[in-house]
Amino acid sequence: MGQRTYRLLIDGVWQGGERGLKDVVDPSTEEVAAKVPVAGPNDLDKALAAAVRACGGWANTDVRDRAAILARAA
């Protein structure tokens, strides 16, 4: 199995972490199994802003409407 490089999905866009990549080592072989992005404060700010845009209206939705939506989803 080859080494994989992962990216962050923030606001629908795949991107690297602002702090670069970190090796993930397989302890059984001591080989690098993957490289993962290291998020920084700006990545967190972008992800949080995207989440608020995606779910921001939920908190302002009437409780009866939220209950109806959740009941339909269940």
User: What's the pLDDT tens digit per position in 18-40?
Assistant: 999 999 999 999 999 999 999 99
pLDDT at residue 74 tops 70: yes
pTM: 0.68
* Amino acid letter, residue 70: L
- The two three-digit tokens of residue 54, written as one number: 């995606």
Contact indicator for 39, 18 with CB cutoff of 8 Å? yes
pLDDT band for position 59 (cuts 50, 70, 90): confident
In the predicted model, what is the mean pLDDT of residues 58-74? 90
- The answer, yes or no, to whether residue 1 has pLDDT greater than 70, is no
pLDDT of residue 54: 85
